[in-house]
Amino acid sequence: MYVHFPFCRQRCSYCDFAIAVRPQIPHQEYLSALRHELAAKVSLFPERRAVSVYFGGGTPSLWEPACLATALQDIQATFPAPLGIPMEVTLECDPGGVSLDQLLAWRAAGVTRLSIGAQSFSHHHLTALRRQHQPEQIMELVDRACQTGFDRISLDLLIGMTGQTEEELAEDLRQLLVLSPEHVSLYQLTVEPHTLLSVHIRRGQTQAPSPDQQADAFQTVRHTLQAHGYRHYEISNFARARPDDPDYRAVHNRLYWTHGEYLGLGVSAHSFRRLSEGGGERFANHRGPSAYLRTWGRAADRRPFVPSATEPSLSLYEQRAPESLWREALWLALRELDGVRWSQFVALHHVDPRQACAAILARLTERGLVISSPDSLRLSDQGVLFADDVGAAFL
Ligand code: SF4
């Protein structure tokens, strides 16, 4: 389950997510709309259990904890965890101004994992990005979270900001390693159209990030984290690994890479389900919070929800044929550095890419982008840097 909370205190300079900045966040209204949406969509996933709930955004840590707790209770009552498997419940968290009381309330509600949007430990870069926090608040939050019993903490790190020096990157890594989170997600700054960053670049007030500098920064982070005991398990993700540790890989994101089904609730949320007749369908809600609140605000107005290209609450609807799904599954599976086990892939998708994609595989192997064996296929070190090209070759 993915739950999108679309409100932020201010828009960051690089952000093109579906968010809104409001003087007053409609906490209760959003909760009630979300509950109506959940009730309308339960029947799309009959008899299903949820292994993960992810509150993303936007800034879901701004949501009143009581509202978040009620949403989570509703979801868990509707889609309980599979027997014997604890549900991962992740909350994305902005480091600015989180109180001890909030952390305690999230724990009591059942949140098991915090994904903290640290991005950088440099005052200067945080200000340029228009982030709403200071480096000290990242440390404070991680300390408090550990005190309140959170033992699964993920930090987001952003690289490739214009003007980021090697020394600044080394300092970001030093500070991150002091905090020693169980998980790290690494993002490269990208310039999306219609963001403040793109306007500044157009006006010559700042420069676009350099791809070469970003590739160098990526390699530095990768090698440093690996040297400190992190396993690079997915292109952008690292999890602390020691033989006696539990598995700190993100359950939620792994579902996307292993082509699991998901129900997304809230503004702009995407869903994916397989169809009994073969293939699958993907659909997404509109991006505007006002339209979302109007659509789902009153339960009595709703007719049964049937995903389709003409359903007015959706901005995207696509039906996918079985071949398009297995090609996509191959692309997603290659994002994980363990790669694809052919026997598992064939059992799941009833097709063997070693035959169906023989020419593509030969080309990628020859270019040194993938490593192929009789049992498996995975990205090479070089392939990790060109993962999008590798994936696109199969689509
Ligand atoms: S906090 Fe995240 S979602 Fe909100 S504006 Fe910044 S980048 Fe966008």
Residue 9 CA, ligand 1 centroid: distance in Å? 8
- Write out the chain's pLDDT in tens, 395 residues: 999 999 999 999 999 998 999 999 999 999 999 999 999 999 999 999 999 999 999 999 999 999 999 999 999 999 999 999 999 999 999 999 899 999 999 999 999 999 999 999 999 999 999 999 999 999 999 999 999 999 999 999 999 998 899 999 999 999 999 999 999 999 999 999 999 999 999 999 999 988 899 999 999 999 999 999 999 999 999 999 776 777 899 999 999 999 999 999 999 999 999 998 889 999 999 999 999 999 999 876 667 799 999 999 999 999 999 999 999 999 999 999 999 999 999 998 999 999 999 999 999 999 999 999 889 999 999 999 999 899 999 98
Q: Which domains does the chain have, with CATH numbers?
A: 2-256 (3.20.20.70), 339-394 (no CATH)
Indicate whether this model's pTM tops 0.85: yes
Q: Over the Cα atoms of the chain, what is R_g?
A: 21
Residue 377 CA, ligand 1 centroid: distance in Å? 36
Decide whether any atom of ligand 1 lies within 6 Å of the 9 Cβ: no
Residue type, 160: G
Closest CA to 393 of 338, 330, 346: 330
Task: Ligand 1, residue 10: give the atom nearest the CA.
Answer: 5
How far is Cα of residue 204 from the mean position of the Cα atoms in its chain?
Answer: 32
Task: Ligand 1, residue 131: give the atom nearest the CA.
Answer: 6
Q: Return the number of other C-beta atoms located less than 10 Å from residue 287's C-beta.
A: 16
Decide whether any atom of ligand 1 lies within 6 Å of the 59 Cβ: yes
Closest CA to 122 of 153, 97, 157, 146: 157
User: Which residue has a Cα nearest atom 5 of ligand 1?
Assistant: 11
User: Which residue has a Cα nearest atom 6 of ligand 1?
Assistant: 12
Euclidean distance between CA atoms 197 and 281, whole angstroms: 34
Pocket test for ligand 1, best of 10, 59, 132 (most atoms within 8 A of CB): 59
Bridge partners, 230 (sequence order): 240
